[in-house]
Amino acid sequence: MTIEGATLGRALGEQQTGRKSLEPRVFWRMGEPIPRRLDGSLRIISVVLPIVLWWLLSSSGLVNPKFLPSPIDVIGAFGRLWEKGLFFDDVRASIFRVGTGFLLAAVLSVPLGIAMGAFAAVRSLLEPIIGIVRYMPAPAFIPLLIIYLGLDEAPKIALIFIGVIFFNTLMIMDAVKFVPKHLLEATYTLGGSRVQTLMQVITPYVVPNILDAFRINMAAAWNLVVVAELIAANEGLGKRIAIAQKFFRTDEIFAYLIILGVIGFLVDLTLRFVLKTTCKWAVD
Partner 1 sequence: MHLNVSNLHKQFFGPKETVVALKAVNLHVEQGEFVCVVGASGSGKSTLLRLIAGLEVPTTGQIAVDGEPVTGPGADRGMVFQDYTLYPWMTVQKNVEFGLKLQGTDKQTRKEQASYYLEMVGLAQFAQALPKQLSGGMKQRVAIARALCSRPKILLMDEPFGALDVQTKETMQQFMLDLWQRTGTSILMITHDVREAVFLSQRIYVMTVRPGTVKAEIVVELGKARTVQTRSLPRFQSYQDDVLAQLINTGAESTAS
Binding site for partner 1 (CB under 8 A): 180, 182-183, 185-193, 196, 200-201, 204-205, 207, 279-282
**Smallest gap from residue 197 Cβ to partner 1 (A):** 9
Closer by beta carbon to partner 1, 114 or else 244? 114
Closer by beta carbon to partner 1, 32 or else 284? 284
Nearest to 182, CA basis, from 195, 206, 201: 201
**Smallest gap from residue 118 Cβ to partner 1 (A):** 16
Closer by beta carbon to partner 1, 7 or else 193? 193
Closer by beta carbon to partner 1, 182 or else 246? 182
Cα distance between residue 96 and residue 90, in whole Å: 10
| Cβ-based burial of 149 (10 A; exposed 0-12, middle 13-18, buried ≥19) | middle
Nearest to 225, CA basis, from 213, 240, 210, 203: 240
Question: Residue 279, SS3?
Answer: coil
| Cβ-based burial of 147 (10 A; exposed 0-12, middle 13-18, buried ≥19) | exposed
**Smallest gap from residue 92 Cβ to partner 1 (A):** 36
